[in-house]
Structure 1
Amino acid sequence: MQITFLGTGTSQGVPVIGCHCPVCRSVDYRDKRLRVSVHVQVAGKSIVIDSGPDFRQQMLRERIEQLDALVFTHEHKDHTAGLDDIRSYNFLQQRDMPLYAEPRVLRQLQQEFAYIFAEEKYPGVPRVKTIPITSDTEVFLVEGVPFQPIRALHYRLPVLGYRIGDFTYITDANYLTEEALAQVRGSRVIVLNALRHEKHISHFSLPEALELLEDLAPEQAYLTHISHQLGKHHEVEATLPDFVRLAYDGLQIEV
């Protein structure tokens, strides 16, 4: 299984518009962070988790010419706004794009992209097939690939992380139940959000993420959904435990 980090930034991305902090002014490519998303290549399938506002740019950058499905963690705009750009894959593959999400998230997509779901469609709009994720505990198949949903809370909003084999991906969260932790435990590689050093209302801080990862003890962990408040990539990474790294846009790992 190959994982590509399409984006590792927050809802505003990094650099932030109008900000002149050292991170936003950094010339290190690892400090340039598009909105958070990952590409999963496994069992001959190409799957993206979350299509944020930078989806088109990310797919072009990584030269991803096949996309078999989109899976959503939740309905916030920085995770869904790029949905319109699946049109190119409709044209290339001559098939509707499967969208996997909880019913609540699908309803939000139907509201925000009403033209996609209209009975009388404008020519050329994206073509989709919606597949509801109806359980937050039972494994479901994404085009034949087993996905274990991981229930988390993003402040009070229920969101999903996913475990695919030995790989677990959790973003936009600041709480996991004991049941969810049990589902994650044993993963060889874990990706977890770590927004900044200070506590936040809806995201794990760096100290909270590290404490959780020490308990879960994967072979390797990567931090994502990183804000400009966390600091420069090379400075922060130098302070981390040996098994933890900061993810960056374009990073590819094998699991």
Structure 2
Amino acid sequence: MKSPLTVTFLGTGTSQGVPVIGSDHPVCKSDDPKDKRLRVSVLLEWENYNYIIDCGPDFRQQMLRENVQRVDGILLTHEHSDHTAGIDDIRPFYFRQGNIPFYAHPRVFQSLHKRFGYIFEIENKYPGAPTLDEIAIDKETPFSIGGKKVIPVEVFHNRLPVIGFRIDSFAYLTDVKTIEEVELQKIKNVEVLVLNALREKEHESHLNLSEALTLIEKIKPQKAYLTHISHLMGFHEEVERTLPENVFLAYDTLKITI
């Protein structure tokens, strides 16, 4: 029998977060906590394992809010800053645990080596810098974390390949604009799907709301949760009332168990 998987939405916002700095948009002025969105990430928990998908600029705040005491590894979808800029904040975990495993496509590690050179320096490494165990992944090869099988799923963020993940009957896809049929078959009929939906208006590199709902109809999960949400989507409570009965807007701190 598989151990239940608990998913906590650490952040559900787009690259600027919600509210956007300096914005007078009504959603940015909302008092509803569900309209406050940190950069997108989830915490996966089962048995005594804690794994995180993406490590953005709000990572420290998210770890403190959820009182996370240990991180067994971090899975990166791609190299953009809203998914990787919090890497330096793994230091408290590194000081207690040692090297932190990171799972990412080799292209992502190449980008991180340029942007965080002091972390990846081999000779004369700065003594306070953390150390990552680089574990290369690709769309073809499943891998294991904490006894669970992970199936990588490739999607495209405009023309940039991004890796999503299927674990048990849970699938997490972010920064999707298109997905090829062979990759779609990996996640058909999952129990829970998390998928990005930026706003109502079409966008060149993200699904908008109608595109996300069309893709959900094709995948046919039992439940779907939308994430990577912009303030331009509208107020959480108003948008939620318009969605199909099995589709929900995710929000920061939401927990689900599969």
Q: TM-score by structure 1 length?
A: 0.97
What secondary structure does 2:232 align onto? coil
Show the counterpart of 1:239: 242
- Give the aligned length: 253
Q: For residue 137 of structure 1, report the CA deviation from its aligned partner.
A: 2.6
Distance in 2 (CA, whole Å) between partners of 1:138 and 1:56 is 31
Show the counterpart of 2:25: 21
Identity of aligned residues (%): 52
What secondary structure does 1:79 align onto? helix
Query: 1:23-42 to 2 correspondence within 5 Å?
Result: 23-42=27-46
Deviations 1:84-136 (A, max 9, x none): 0111001222x200011000001111111100111221111112110111x30
Does residue 54 in structure 1 map to residue 58 in structure 2?
yes
The partner residue of 1:126 within 109, 125, 130 is 130
Deviations 1:55-87 (A, max 9, x none): 000010000111000110000011000000111
Show the counterpart of 1:82: 86
Of the structure 1 ranges 143-152 and 8-17, higher mean CA displacement relative to structure 2 is found in 143-152
Distance in 2 (CA, whole Å) between partners of 1:110 and 1:70 is 16
Question: Which ranges of 4 or more aligned residues in structure 1 deviate by more than 6 Å?
Answer: none
Q: For residue 138 of structure 1, report the CA deviation from its aligned partner.
A: 2.3
Q: Which runs of 5+ in 2 are unaligned?
A: none
Query: 1:50-199 to 2 correspondence within 5 Å?
Result: 50-93=54-97, 95-119=98-122, 120-133=124-137, 135-199=138-202
Contact 2:51 2:73 in 1 (8 A): yes
The partner residue of 2:216 within 202, 213, 233 is 213
Contact 1:69 1:143 in 2 (8 A): no
Does residue 228 in structure 1 map to residue 237 in structure 2?
no
Contact 1:100 1:142 in 2 (8 A): no
Q: For residue 42 of structure 1, report the CA deviation from its aligned partner.
A: 2.5
Contact 2:19 2:37 in 1 (8 A): yes
Q: For residue 183 of structure 1, report the CA deviation from its aligned partner.
A: 0.4
Distance in 2 (CA, whole Å) between partners of 1:230 and 1:250 is 19
Q: For residue 145 of structure 1, report the CA deviation from its aligned partner.
A: 2.7
Distance in 1 (CA, whole Å) between partners of 2:213 and 2:153 is 19
Distance in 2 (CA, whole Å) between partners of 1:84 and 1:181 is 34
Contact 1:5 1:248 in 2 (8 A): yes
